Amino acid sequence: MAAIHLAGLITLFLSGAVFVILGLFSAITTWTGTALEQRMTGLLVAIFGFALIGAGLYVAKRSKN
């Protein structure tokens, strides 16, 4: 059971980090352009990544009862 829990946490953190990096990279590369939709999509993907990392922190910190 502990291995499954650890694997889930690692998955949350790694996928969250990937989404944050890709989202911020997309937003930064389109920042000077006129494509507002691409910039907003990049920022939303980054926010989704931060939410995944936050969910991982919540699951890691909650009591194990």
Q: Return d(Cα 63, Cα 65) in angstroms, integer.
A: 6
Average pLDDT, the chain: 89
Residue 27 pLDDT > 60, yes or no? yes
| pLDDT for position 63 | 60
Q: Return d(Cα 16, Cα 30) in angstroms, integer.
A: 21
Instruction: Give the residue carrying structure tokens 């920042």.
Output: 31
Instruction: Give the global pTM.
Output: 0.84
